[in-house]
Chains A and B, each alone.
Chain A
């Protein structure tokens, strides 16, 4: 049995919305019958846009949320039935910097959580020093966390997940809000943990990170796994098309749908650019070089101002577009 086995795992949240006495019952399917397994020494990426079901999946795996149906097993223990055993066998880093006690020092935080994980105090003392050094906080271990930078807090939170040296590790957006140097450090540590034989699940909406780190990636959308495999294989699926990225202003809302009427165009997705001033149109198209003039002419006719056109290598984002017709950043 693999360290992580997920079988038909589902979660539906029941909510009541609306005004007093006029509340309407609503069911929201957050995770919809997903299956996957993670063997020893593998980094398994869960990639998807916000609200896709990644965090709910992680929270079910670490027993914070009870599944509606299906089950998952961590080192053979059921998340539905053996919750205490599951917690002993997991190291978890949840997203965000407010997962620590700000009025305690870095070292005091780790000492506190080591006791909650029932670590022997002599072992914990050495382990804490080792981890503080690993994440580059050994010289600031006696500083209150409230005086740490965001990056330092996230690194400390990462160290916390490694305290009990669990063979299964769950990292929810481990490099979100980190500077490039700290991201690099965390990614290197994750790779080392993989080499040591840990089974690692990583959620991210950063496709470059998923591509760089993961041995296999599950692309998740609206609670379902829409694609699963090694990043290179997934990208190979969309290699038969050309991918054109068009940066433009004044794109009409109907543009993506209108472009789909071109017989050569298979998928179109639109996202705001990083500056927010322009929009990025990503077009999957057969014989791109031949079709491009017609596409540009069409956009100009629709009053769009085109600022940049690039033919790009398909990324995991293109796999997502091919599967869902939407961008990861929607």
Chain B
């Protein structure tokens, strides 16, 4: 009694999501890491800033960023970085994780669409991390800048829009991981480079011009900037139509390109028998 079409894809996606959720509930330790890291990175940056800038650190910071609210500025950068790290890493390594567990071929034997499988395998982590993002940012804004508490909602919407192109980058890495194995070193280096380029802890304008060109093609650059403008400068999503438009364009381009690359490498892997190799 098979179902068909969109219903069957949604049913499969739900099952993959629930399976991931059960795994997380039965291995709960990761939640604590997701919650702590944005704060830890923020305190690290604050400490370094104080050590380097001394009494003038806040003034220097305000001159370069236009705000004295260092904690909010940094926590938004950290939280977006952590969320995008999870998306890219999880989409990129989901296939490898299943391969190591021995369950990848079982999933590939089923008539479920590969796109559904690839998205589904990382969806649980993305949803959990996004919820944790809301908690981290919500609590910080409520404590440090309570008057802006409601801006967390549009800021979260900007983040959700920015996650779509990140799935595309994740697909690209999923392909590379199938081909080269060794996922973690590869993806961690890229995520650190992304943090450097996208204004996670400082404005992109401080970077050399040619580096800013690279920043301009990364969705996190626009998400981080938009969220800071919404939460700190009280701008609305409508005011930020330029960034939103670019994010929409990236949301279309990255998944198409990323999935095309993944499928190409995946087809080659089925010729070489790569999926059975550890």
Q: Could you list which residues of chain A lie within 8 angstroms of chain B, going by C-beta atoms? A: 13-14, 56, 59, 62-66, 68, 84-85, 87-88, 90, 92, 94, 96, 98-104, 108, 111-124, 144, 160, 164
Given A13-B273, A87-B111, A103-B22, does the pair A120, B1 have CB atoms closer than 8 Å?
yes
B103 touches A119 (CB 8 A): no
B22 to chain A: which residues have CB within 8 Å?
103-104, 108
Q: How far is the CA of A5 from the CA of B106 in the complex (A)?
A: 23
A100 to chain B: which residues have CB within 8 Å?
103, 106
B23 touches A101 (CB 8 A): yes
The 8 A-B residue pairs with the shortest CB-CB distance, nearest first, are A98-B102, A115-B15, A116-B110, A123-B1, A118-B8, A87-B111, A120-B1, A116-B112
B102 touches A112 (CB 8 A): no
A-B contact pairs, 17 of them (CB 8 A): A14-B272, A59-B273, A63-B108, A65-B273, A66-B270, A87-B111, A88-B111, A101-B103, A103-B22, A103-B23, A112-B15, A113-B106, A115-B12, A117-B2, A118-B2, A118-B4, A120-B1
B271 to chain A: which residues have CB within 8 Å?
65-66, 68
Does chain A have a CB within 8 A of B56?
A: no
A85 to chain B: which residues have CB within 8 Å?
111
State which residues 1-48 of B face A: CB under 8 Å.
1-4, 8, 11-12, 14-16, 18-19, 22-23, 26-27
B3 to chain A: which residues have CB within 8 Å?
118-120
B101 touches A98 (CB 8 A): yes
A164 touches B2 (CB 8 A): yes
A59 to chain B: which residues have CB within 8 Å?
273, 276
Closest to A164 in B: B2
Q: How far is the CA of A35 from the CA of B267 in the complex (A)?
A: 25
Does chain A have a CB within 8 A of B61?
A: no
A64 touches B107 (CB 8 A): no
Q: How far is the CA of A85 from the CA of B110 in the complex (A)?
A: 10
Does chain A have a CB within 8 A of B149?
A: no
Interchain CB contact (< 8 A) of A111 among B4, B15, B27 = B15
Q: How far is the CA of A119 from the CA of B26 in the complex (A)?
A: 26
A64 touches B108 (CB 8 A): yes
Q: How far is the CA of A100 from the CA of B98 in the complex (A)?
A: 10
Rounded to whole Å, the gap between the CB of A176 and the closest CB of chain B is: 15
A64 touches B2 (CB 8 A): no
Closest to B15 in A: A115
Given A101-B23, A111-B15, does the pair A62, B103 have CB atoms closer than 8 Å?
no
Interchain CB contact (< 8 A) of B27 among A65, A66, A92, A103 = A103
Contact with A along B131-150 (1 / 0, CB 8 A): 00000000000000000000
A64 touches B275 (CB 8 A): yes
User: What's the interface size class on B, roughly?
Assistant: 35 or more
A120 touches B106 (CB 8 A): no
Excluding A88-B2, A108-B22, A112-B19, 6 further A-B contacts by CB distance (< 8 Å) are: A64-B276, A94-B109, A116-B117, A117-B112, A118-B111, A122-B1
Q: How far is the CA of A73 from the CA of B208 in the complex (A)?
A: 59
A87 touches B273 (CB 8 A): no
Rounded to whole Å, the gap between the CB of B24 and the closest CB of chain A is: 10
Q: How far is the CA of A260 from the CA of B273 in the complex (A)?
A: 40
Q: How far is the CA of A208 from the CA of B112 in the complex (A)?
A: 37
B23 to chain A: which residues have CB within 8 Å?
101, 103-104
Residue among B2, B16, B267, B276 facing the most chain A CB atoms (10 A cut-off): B2
Interchain CB contact (< 8 A) of A94 among B105, B111, B272 = B105
Rounded to whole Å, the gap between the CB of B44 and the closest CB of chain A is: 33
A88 to chain B: which residues have CB within 8 Å?
2, 111
A64 touches B109 (CB 8 A): yes
A101 touches B101 (CB 8 A): yes
Q: How far is the CA of A191 from the CA of B8 in the complex (A)?
A: 32
Closest to A97 in B: B102
Rounded to whole Å, the gap between the CB of B8 and the closest CB of chain A is: 4
A164 to chain B: which residues have CB within 8 Å?
2
A56 to chain B: which residues have CB within 8 Å?
273
B101 touches A84 (CB 8 A): no
A96 touches B270 (CB 8 A): no
Q: How far is the CA of A76 from the CA of B127 in the complex (A)?
A: 41
Closest to B1 in A: A123
Q: How far is the CA of A134 from the CA of B269 in the complex (A)?
A: 36
State which residues 253-278 of B face A: CB under 8 Å.
267, 270-273, 275-276
Given A64-B275, A103-B26, does the pair A115, B109 have CB atoms closer than 8 Å?
no
Closest to B8 in A: A118
Rounded to whole Å, the gap between the CB of B3 and the closest CB of chain A is: 5
Residue among B12, B106, B267, B271 facing the most chain A CB atoms (10 A cut-off): B106
Q: How far is the CA of A62 from the CA of B101 in the complex (A)?
A: 20
Interchain CB contact (< 8 A) of B105 among A13, A64, A68, A104 = A64
Q: How far is the CA of A65 from the CA of B2 in the complex (A)?
A: 25
